[in-house]
Homo-oligomer: A and B are copies of this chain.
Amino acid sequence: MSRVYNFSAGPSFLPESVLLRAREEFLDWHGTGMSALELSHRSEEFIGIAEQAESDLREVMSIPPNYKVLFLHGGGTGQFAAVPLNLLSENKSGAYIHTGYWSGMAIEEARQFGEIHVAASGKDSGFTLIPPRESWVIPFNAAYLHYTSNETVNGVEFHTVPDVGDVPLVCDLSSNILSRSVDVSRFAISYAGAQKNMGPAGVTVVIVRDDVIRHNPHGVPSILDYERQAASGSFVNTPPTYSWYFVGLVLDWVREQGGVDVIEQHNIRKSQKLYSAIDASPFYSNPVPTEFRSRMNIPFHLADPSLEKKFAADARAAGLTTLEGHRSIGGIRASLYNAMPEAGVDALIAFMAEFERKYG
């Protein structure tokens, strides 16, 4: 079948031009007679690929020189453990903002490794809003404050970086990295699994400020140890080479689009179009107040929930795939990551109007 519009929350839609380029060089990377899948991570070819990807990421995200950029195994969930393992010490606690499913998972994982405080929670709102900064209670012994800049399940996004004074700020950027301009220098650590806006599953980018990298005397698996990964250039063991290579291809594409600022304007327009279509109809609804709405993941319900299964199935038949909501809350979810063209959003909106006409 011809290519569809894939609204998956991750692994997700990739730019077709990137897939075509990867396919073109699939058996013979740059005249070496080897696939990028087959390159030794110690070869000069792969080291070139790896360094270029890092340097491109530094450029498109304006990452300051006093930050290390790591390409690691383990996904965001690996970092849910790595952050407390690397940053907590005796008499210190980790502070968390609980804004939905994924920040909740980060909290649960961290509790295994030390004292954790929930400094603010959106639970009372059903995780439809971000608690105002002035309500946050950050404990005096906080080693860091962690937040999730975009909640893929709940469709809630931080549109500014919160001010937490001198407390090292840790940000899970998994689902909106490269989708908007963000001042990385505000973070001690930011990290992102690649499988939304950067490439395939299997590689996780960690951007960590030099001063929070410390020696862990024991108890940290070396694949999650910032000091050892930084010292070895993410080569503590064989890195996920093909995913790393693919991130490099996506970064080339980001630059071809005009960079993150241009992509951000597209993302604003795409998401506004879809929210407008939802808000204009009593048949569809999204519970998140405008100022907290995610540009990346737009969950919505049908007035008659019994039609939601049919909605997703009919959409799929029309070439609009993976619109099922997260299993924890059901409904419909459209993820509009960078690779989703405006034409895909238009096609979804047209399908929604037609579906409403038939069944509304």
User: How would you classify the secondary structure of chain A's contact residues: helix, strand, loop or mixed?
Assistant: loop
Inter-chain contact B223/A40, CB cutoff 8 Å: no
In the complex formed, the residue of B with least CB distance to A4 is: B33
A228 → chain B, closest Cβ, in Å? 10
- The segment from A68-76, A139-147, A350-358 that touches chain B is A68-76
Given contacts A28-B1, A222-B109, contact A38 B6 (CB under 8 A): yes
Chain B residue at smallest Cβ distance from A34: B6
Look across to chain B and name the residue whose beta carbon is closest to the beta carbon of A203: B202
Complex Cα–Cα for A243 and B4 (A): 23
Contact with B along A183-212 (1 / 0, CB 8 A): 000000000010100001111000000000
Most chain B CB neighbours (cut-off 10 Å) among A39, A40, A195, A246: A40
Is there an interface contact between A81 and B40, defined as CB atoms closer than 8 Å? no
Closest to A243 in B: B202
Given that A11-B40, A223-B77 are known contacts, is A239 also in contact with B19, CB under 8 Å in the complex? no
A277 within 8 Å of B (CB atoms): no
A73 touches B73 (CB 8 A): yes
Question: What is the bound-complex CA distance between A8 and B36, given in angstroms?
Answer: 13
8 A Cβ contacts from A1-60 to B: 1-4, 6, 8-14, 16, 19-20, 22-23, 26-28, 31-35, 37-43
Cβ-based interface call for A113 (8 A):
yes
Judged by a CB distance under 8 angstroms, whether A327 is at the interface is yes
Measured as residues with beta carbon below 8 angstroms from the partner, the interface class of chain A is 35 or more
Establish whether residues B41 and A12, one from each chain, have CB atoms under 8 Å apart when the complex forms.
Answer: no
Cβ A81 vs Cβ B14 within 8 A: no
10 A-B pairs closest in CB distance: A202-B240, A81-B221, A77-B237, A4-B33, A8-B40, A202-B202, A1-B33, A23-B26, A75-B237, A112-B218
A residues with CB within 8 A of B: 1-4, 6, 8-14, 16, 19-20, 22-23, 26-28, 31-35, 37-43, 73-78, 80-82, 85, 109, 112-113, 193, 195, 200-203, 218-224, 236-243, 246, 319, 321-322, 327
